[in-house]
Structure 1
Amino acid sequence: MSEPPVLLSTDRDGVRTLTLNRPHRKNAIDPALWSALAEALRRTADDRSVRALIVAGAGDAFCSGADIGAPDLRHPVYRMRALTDVALLLRELPIPTVAKVAGVAMGAGWNLALGCDLVVATPESTFCQIFTKRGLTLDLGGSWLLPRLIGLQQAKRLALLAETIDAGQALELGLVTWVVPGTDIDAFTDELGERLAAGPPVALAQTKALLDAGAETAFRDALAAEARAQGLNFATADAPEAYAAFAQRREPRFTGRWTAPRRGPEHAATSTENGA
């Protein structure tokens, strides 16, 4: 009998769900799962039919971190490269991403959730930057993500003490976007994915990029980036569609289709003659 896949991938109405599938290990990520995650994220980045991504865990846990008990004879440099690939691929996805956290999210598992744009948890969810209890330091982007999300002092508290916090504390700190009952999390996250997938894909991608860059960008540079992004938005069918839908009192149907007029040879010649 063959082993079940370590990662499940399902698509529905433009929403892709990647489910870590090692419930017997609370979805701890072994080398095979790191590899499968990286490949799935690459495919997602190249698939324009996918307009939102949900990351979830099978069973009663989201992810208990890297499976440090799994045999791996590679040099640590190469082992860490697998983590780096996943962290970068997830952060650089041009579509909205959601972590569905039911149960524990520890170490790299918590940072995998924090690498998503939005985090949905249940009251039973627990979180821990467990690294120092294992004689290790933060990875999967935790040292970059935590200070930006909650400030340096609280980040040091969580990382140095490796405290376990509940969903209420995580929500108060700003590390969780919503806390919903466990019986409702599937329906809530499905609806959230549908809402994101129904949005204007070009505008959402640029909004995500602007916000990600904003923390490290001067105000003048942020304004310039916003102006460039808005120009691209006006060149799609989505802005006119939004105005038409508002006037017609209906929901807009966003496609991200490019509609900027193309200059033909005659127009180009005229522009050149006029010095344009």
Structure 2
Amino acid sequence: MSQVETKLESNVLCLTLQRPDKKNALSQQMYQQLAEALEQAAENDAVHVVLLQGQKDCFTAGNDLQDFIDGGELNEQHPTVRFLYKLAEFSKPLVAAVGGLAIGIGTTALMHCDLVYATRTTRFQLPFTKLGLCPEAASSLLLPQLIGYHRACEYLLLGEAFDGESAYRMGLVNQLVEPEQLLDYAMSKAQQLAALPAQAVQSSKHLMKANQREALQYTLREELNEFQQLLHSDACQQAVKQFFQKK
């Protein structure tokens, strides 16, 4: 069974993370599937919008740490790297439905989405420094742009968790929805967007993103270089060891 379920309905490609027993922790296989799905969606005229979701009570707990560490060097062929670039470059609208946990990539991926819906109890966190690591997915550029440098330090340096109310106030989330309604509501918004003239929507997104494209590519490269070095640091090795001991 695929750990990323794909379903095309009313010009909306729904990508559902399907690893609930691991709180949708993203494995290299899942990153590969997500990267391929975005690549194919970009070329498929029947896809107007992509909706990314987990279950109503869990989006993703972040990386599957052991699988990630065993995944080798963070080069262009690494599934995680492929996904990050496909996400950042995606030309069509991205919608996200975020319930329960949204840790690490579960939060940074949202900075590349165009519409994000969450619940008041959704738990967001960017715990990179706690693991001896640095930001990913160009979040070191995008989060300060969104909320200002000093506020971003609370989340990227201290790694403090925050809830849906805070995410809504900072502008990371468009609207808060009751957990039982989350997935249906996000789909209805995705379908509403998909019903509009596709080229007009894509051109509008292109124009809004145009002035940051170069900076985005630069930041992705810089973060990956730093991330790769930090992965082999004593601090990271010790933090990961403690993580597995707690589990």
TM-score category, normalised to shorter length: 0.7 to 0.9
User: What is the CA distance between 1:187 and its match in structure 2?
Assistant: 2.3
Partner of 1:53: 50
1:83 aligns with 2:80: yes
1:16 aligns with 2:8: no
TM-score by length of 2: 0.81
Partner of 2:225: none
For the Cα contact (< 8 Å) 2:32–2:82, is it kept in 1?
no
Q: 1:203 aligns with which of 200, 204, 214?
A: 200
Partner of 2:22: 25
Quickly say closer, same or farther: Cα 1:160–1:80, change in 2 above 3 A. farther
For the Cα contact (< 8 Å) 1:23–1:60, is it kept in 2?
no
For the Cα contact (< 8 Å) 1:54–1:99, is it kept in 2?
yes
User: What is the CA distance between 1:83 and its match in structure 2?
Assistant: 2.4
1:166 aligns with 2:160: no
Matches of 2:104 and 2:156 in 1, distance apart?
10
Quickly say closer, same or farther: Cα 1:86–1:31, change in 2 above 3 A. same
- Percent of aligned pairs with the same amino acid: 32
1:150 aligns with 2:147: yes
Quickly say closer, same or farther: Cα 1:77–1:70, change in 2 above 3 A. closer
TM-score by length of 1: 0.73
User: What is the CA distance between 1:197 and its match in structure 2?
Assistant: 0.4
User: Which shows bigger deviation, 85-94 or 118-127?
Assistant: 85-94
Quickly say closer, same or farther: Cα 1:176–1:186, change in 2 above 3 A. same
Question: CA-to-partner distance for each residue in 1:217-270, whole Å, 9 max, x for gaps?
Answer: 9xxxxxxxxxxxxxxxxxxxxxxxxxxxxxxxxxxxxxxxxxxxxxxxxxxxxx
Map residues 165-244 of structure 1 onto 2, 5 A cutoff.
Answer: 165-214=162-211
For the Cα contact (< 8 Å) 1:87–1:115, is it kept in 2?
no
Matches of 2:46 and 2:26 in 1, distance apart?
27
Matches of 1:127 and 1:76 in 2, distance apart?
27
Matches of 2:195 and 2:102 in 1, distance apart?
29
Count of residues in correspondence between the two structures: 214
Question: CA-to-partner distance for each residue in 1:186-226, whole Å, 9 max, x for gaps?
Answer: 22112101110011111111110111124589xxxxxxxxx
SS at match of 1:78: coil
Matches of 2:76 and 2:17 in 1, distance apart?
19
Q: What runs of 5+ residues in structure 1 fail to find an aligned partner?
A: 218-276
SS at match of 1:77: coil
User: What is the CA distance between 1:74 and its match in structure 2?
Assistant: 4.1
Question: CA-to-partner distance for each residue in 1:100-133, whole Å, 9 max, x for gaps?
Answer: 1011101112112222111100112110001111
Map residues 97-116 of structure 1 onto 2, 5 A cutoff.
Answer: 97-116=94-113
Q: What runs of 5+ residues in structure 2 fail to find an aligned partner?
A: 215-247
Q: Report the AA paired with residue 194 of structure 2.
A: A
Q: Report the AA paired with residue 196 of structure 2.
A: G
Question: CA-to-partner distance for each residue in 1:19-51, whole Å, 9 max, x for gaps?
Answer: 111111111111111111111111111111011
Q: Report the AA paired with residue 8 of structure 1.
A: E
SS at match of 2:157: helix
For the Cα contact (< 8 Å) 2:110–2:172, is it kept in 1?
no
For the Cα contact (< 8 Å) 2:58–2:101, is it kept in 1?
yes
Q: Report the AA paired with residue 179 of structure 2.
A: G
Partner of 1:121: 118
Quickly say closer, same or farther: Cα 1:38–1:207, change in 2 above 3 A. same
For the Cα contact (< 8 Å) 2:55–2:99, is it kept in 1?
no
Matches of 1:113 and 1:80 in 2, distance apart?
23
Q: 2:90 aligns with which of 80, 90, 93?
A: 93
